[in-house]
Structure 1
Amino acid sequence: MKIKTTIAALALITLPALASAMCADKTHQAMSCAEGTVWDAGSQACVAQINS
């Protein structure tokens, strides 16, 4: 019984830390911009698309 309690406690401590680590990288989030605009990572905003 003591082993099961210890395993359950370790799981409750470890799983939130792992979930937090998985969300630490914010570079893979999708951004939707209006038609005719594109996402500019430098300004962190949608800017007009320039067609050349």
Structure 2
Amino acid sequence: MMMTLKTLLTACTLTVVSAIGASAECGWQKQAMSCADGMTYDRESGTCVVVSG
């Protein structure tokens, strides 16, 4: 019984640790921005702006 409990606890711990690691790698707060043709993303304003030139 004790070996089963230790195995279950270890499996749960590894699952939680890997889930936390995966969520940190994904960058949930970041989102890809795509702009229309002839425009580019301006990081300062956070919007698409017309490409000059």
TM-score normalised to the size of structure 2? 0.67
CA deviation after TM superposition for structure 1 residue 13, in Å: 2.1
2:12 paired residue among 4, 9, 12: 9
**Greater CA drift, 16-25 or 36-45:** 16-25
Q: Percent identity?
A: 35
Aligned pairs for 1:20-39 within 5 A: 20-24=23-27, 26=30, 29-39=31-41
Q: How many pairs are equivalent? A: 49
Q: Residue deviations 1:20-41, cap 9 Å, x none?
A: 2112373xx5421111111101
Structure whose CA Rg is larger:
2
Q: Which runs of 4+ in 1 moved over 2 A?
A: 23-26
Consecutive unaligned residues of structure 1, counting only runs of 5 or more, are none
Shift of residue 48, structure 1, vs aligned partner = 0.6
